[in-house]
Amino acid sequence: MKKILLLSALIIAGILFTSQIKRACLSLVILIDVIRAPEQAVLGRLVGGPTVTKVKVPGRDRVILADLYRSHKEGKLFPLLLVHGLNPTGKDDEQLVLLAKDLARAGFLVMVPEFEGMKTLRIRTSDAEDILRSFLYLSKAKQTAFRGGMMGLGYGAGPMLLAAADARIRDKVGVVATFGGYYDLRTVMLFSLTGAYEYGGLRGHIRPDAALRWMFAYKNLDLLRSLPDRETLRAVIEKRNRYELVEAEKLAQSLGREGRALYDFLVNTEQKRFAQLYEKLPLTVREQVYQLSPSRAVDYITGSFIIAHGTDDSSIPYTESQRLADAVSDKNRAHLALLPRFMHDEPLEISAGDWFKRHVLGGWRLYGAIYDLLEKGGIH
């Protein structure tokens, strides 16, 4: 009799918790694929598919190319839009393709559009409009559930959050997920130029990558209204890239007011001078920074937030994700996962403490974020 009762209890538990067990297994395998090289992927060996279709999304003034990943599951699928970051490979990035395939195998209907602005390091508010139109297109596909989700990577998280806050789709966006995203682009610029970051009593400093600031500036010189300053500053940056620093400085002396303000801002590495130099930037630049900051839009997002960030991210400080999570008024809608040592390659020799932080603590937190995404997407 006891054996029958025990067997019955196990059967009932299996029925009740089948979905949770499946999500747990899928989350673990997706986690393994996320942290390993694409050629070492595991889930594709266990689950067939998905089917990948090339689609064209009508944009405001251009056609947006995208890949649609569909699993072989029957019934309604949760539509999930993946937004790549500042990456010249765009939607074809190997790790992004693997993530899209894994999420489709798990049961999502996944679409990954190509955003030209972010491919060319020229992020604009028009990217948010392209994201919005892509989501509308995806939400009208066959087999889709009424509500869907978006996931933004790196700088792509900014315009993704702006799109999710738009009144045209906000009621259809049930979840937004960010990895290495930002809240206020101005504080990201402070970090990029000076290496300093602080929030909630935490402070830190890294050595900023000087080449990155000049590369961004070179790609965005159109924000200057003065054509002569654009051309002069372009020549200055080209000389700096050839390490002709003395000649570059001499040429910079001929810049007009707009160009000089931007140049002085770019060469600065002192945190205490940042605010003053920022306020002298051309209004066109400061307005673009404001418009691309999700800080102005978070209150309008009605879905849940899943926010993950490596604490050693050298591109965007992890404190930006803390700001983003704290800005969500209903804390029950925000899941924050800070991942220690996640962005760095693992050294040949690693201390026991660092190994624990990276593999156990960081792995567990990322696993939790993946599980939460699957759960909110109704994967069972």
Helix or strand or coil: residue 235? helix
Buried b (16+ CB within 10 A) or exposed e, 97-124: bbbbbbbbbbbbbbbbbbbbbbbebbbb
Predicted local confidence at residue 3, as pLDDT: 47
> Among candidates 72, 110, 71, 107, which has minimal Cα distance to 91?
110
Predicted local confidence at residue 52, as pLDDT: 95
Give the residue ranges of the chain where pLDDT is below 70. 1-17, 342-356
d(CA 154, CA 137): 23
11 φ, ψ (degrees, to nearest 5)? -65, -45
**C-alpha 370: how far from its chain's center?**
15
Q: Could you report the per-residue pLDDT of 169-193, keeping only the tens digit for each? A: 999 999 999 999 999 999 999 999 9
d(CA 305, CA 323): 13
Q: What is the DSSP letter of 137?
A: H
- Strands (DSSP E) contained in 195-311 are 196-199, 202-205, 304-310
Predicted local confidence at residue 48, as pLDDT: 84
Give the chain's radius of gyration (CA, Å): 23
Look up tokens 């010249």; give the residue.
Answer: 88
d(CA 263, CA 121): 19
> Among candidates 265, 268, 236, which has minimal Cα distance to 252?
236
CATH topology of domain 33-184+293-376: Rossmann fold (3.40.50)
d(CA 184, CA 177): 17
Predicted local confidence at residue 5, as pLDDT: 39
Please give the structure tokens belonging to residue 259.
């160009």
343 φ, ψ (degrees, to nearest 5)? -85, -20
Q: What is the DSSP letter of 38?
A: G
Helix spans in the chain (H): 2-35, 43-46, 94-106, 116-119, 125-139, 157-164, 185-194, 210-219, 227-241, 245-252, 257-267, 271-279, 283-291, 319-327, 352-355, 363-376
As annotated, the residues of the chain forming the CATH 3.40.50.1820 domain(s) are: 33-184+293-376
